[in-house]
Amino acid sequence: MKLGSRCFKERIYVAPTFDDMLLGHDILHLLGVLLDMQSDTLILDGERKPVSSSFKEGKPTVARVMLKKRVVVPPYSVVRLSCKLDAPMPSDYVVESLGTLKVLMPRTVMAANRDPLVCFINVKETFATLKKNTLIAMACEVFSYLEG
């Protein structure tokens, strides 16, 4: 598989499904590709590749997620913290790390019109300090959930 100027060798399974979903998101995540839905691009090693997307219900709302206050995460610890958005999210939304932090941050699904609540996981033996107003993630509107 070729993406931008890089080539990858991966096993790919295609499921016979008729649900509206983003196929291949897991493999993009595994390869370290960022999906910028606001500008319809994939970002791999700083290289931006345009993609085409279509949405039945219009383009999703996207917002930046930033720290409300400075946080220190002790070694081998988890800290849960409320953050702030730079734009309102009128629908349920998913928060995904930019991958630029000194700590791990799992994806989170949040209810509409609520500040994001995120977890920071420090798997190292040193303290991790994150500054106030640091851009940590992007929030993207979720239109519907798959039942099951």
% of the chain residues with pLDDT over 90: 48
Q: Give me the pLDDT at residue 20, please.
A: 47
CB 84 within 8 A of CB 65: yes
Q: Give me the pLDDT at residue 116, please.
A: 96
Per the structure block, which two tokens stand in for 140?
């993207």
Mean pLDDT of the chain: 82
CB 27 within 8 A of CB 10: yes
Structural domain boundaries in the chain:
2-50, 62-141
Q: Which residue would you say has higher pLDDT here, 100 or 51?
A: 100
Spatial CB neighbours of 140, under 8 Å, sequence gap ≥ 6: 37, 60, 61, 62, 93, 94, 96
The 10s digit of each residue's pLDDT in 107-131 is 999 999 999 999 999 999 999 999 9
**Alpha-carbon distance values, 14 to 17, 18, 95, 122 (Å):** 9, 12, 26, 35
> Is 22 a residue whose pLDDT tops 60?
no
Annotation: CATH topology of 62-141: Deoxyuridine 5'-Triphosphate Nucleotidohydrolase; Chain A (2.70.40)
